[in-house]
């Protein structure tokens, strides 16, 4: 069945920059009404202004790690939009520190942002989504959630947990017309590595070479939107090296991890 985006309201978190911004612009171009969320109201408004038919879209800023703010944001979304057809859980933070150098509080912060905040918001949305006859939940995981590498221990764990949680959600709610898709980005040219947390919780502040050479956010959005439009549930959007690593992992995990140990991953 062809997706009629003109009838859809899509809520996108982390919409103020990076792949969230690119997805917002791409879906708006196809006619969907977008609810843009993130912490920075001015940045969200700037993204909204770059969207097709900008006046139809809605900006709802909030801190996704704050449970009370999440509830208030959802109530505001319902009042202003009337319904939410798709929820794209895109907000998140990355990591650039070795496990032995990472404080436990930093690992907890990464898990709170990248896992608990996403599942919390999804549970808020689901009751009304089920009552209206269906909807789609999209989780932005990561290739790091499929392949454990150096400097991303907690980040990879959080993204893997999100992937498994989405699998369970898909199995539990399929009969209630809830679709669940998980996207696994590889290296994408965004500020993800600049904002990534180091062992003490401070931001790395620099761009990784691999990230700088990754796919553009626009190219990512083009592939992701096409896959979601076609009803795909497991969507890998990455460069050739990341895709090769995933294939090797399926055939021989020991071989892959030998290659990872010998590589410069950071």
pLDDT digits (tens, 9 = 90+) for 163-219: 999 999 999 999 999 999 999 999 999 999 999 999 999 999 999 988 999 999 999
Question: Do residues 245 and 46 make contact, with C-beta atoms less than 8 angstroms apart?
Answer: no
pTM, rounded to two decimals? 0.95
pLDDT at residue 1 above 80?
Answer: no
pLDDT 10s digits, 213-264:
999 999 999 999 999 999 999 999 999 999 999 999 999 999 998 988 888 7
Summarised one tens digit per residue, pLDDT across range 17-34 is 999 999 999 999 999 999
In the set 5, 115, 155, 234, the catalytic residue is: 155
Q: How far is CA 121 from the centre of its chain?
A: 13
pLDDT exceeds 80 at position 118:
yes
Active site residue 155: yes
> What 3-state class would DSSP assign to 245?
helix
The domains located in the chain, with CATH, are 5-262 (3.40.50.720)
CB-based contact 187:196 (threshold 8 Å) = no
Whether the pLDDT of residue 2 is over 90: the answer is no
Pairwise CA distance, residues 109 & 41, whole Å: 23
Mean pLDDT rounded to a whole number for the chain: 96
């Amino acid at each position: 069945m062809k997706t009629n985006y003109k009838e859809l309201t899509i809520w996108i978190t982390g919409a103020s920059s990076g792949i969230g911004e690119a997805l917002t612009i791409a879906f708006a171009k196809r006619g969907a009404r977008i609810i843009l969320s993130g912490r920075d109201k001015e940045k969200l408004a700037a993204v909204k202004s770059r969207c097709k038919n900008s006046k139809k879209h809605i900006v709802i800023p909030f801190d996704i790690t704050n449970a009370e703010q999440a509830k208030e944001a959802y109530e505001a979304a319902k009042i202003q939009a009337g319904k939410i057809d798709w929820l794209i859980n895109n907000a998140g933070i990355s990591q650039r520190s070795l496990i032995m150098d990472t404080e436990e509080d930093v690992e907890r912060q990464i898990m709170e942002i990248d896992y608990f905040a996403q599942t919390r918001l999804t549970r808020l949305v689901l009751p009304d989504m089920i009552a209206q006859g269906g909807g789609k939940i999209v989780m932005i995981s990561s290739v790091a959630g499929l392949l454990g590498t150096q400097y991303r221990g907690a980040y990879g764990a959080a993204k893997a947990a999100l992937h498994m949680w989405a699998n369970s959600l898909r199995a539990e709610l399929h009969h209630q017309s809830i679709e669940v898709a998980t996207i696994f980005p590889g290296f994408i040219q965004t500020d993800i590595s600049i904002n990534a947390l180091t062992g003490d919780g401070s931001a790395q502040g620099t761009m990784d070479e691999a990230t700088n050479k990754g796919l553009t956010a626009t190219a990512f959005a083009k592939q992701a939107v096409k896959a979601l439009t076609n009803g795909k549930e497991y969507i890998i959007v990455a460069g050739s090296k990341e895709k090769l690593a995933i294939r090797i992992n399926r055939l021989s995990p020991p071989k892959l991890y030998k290659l990872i140990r010998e590589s410069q991953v950071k």
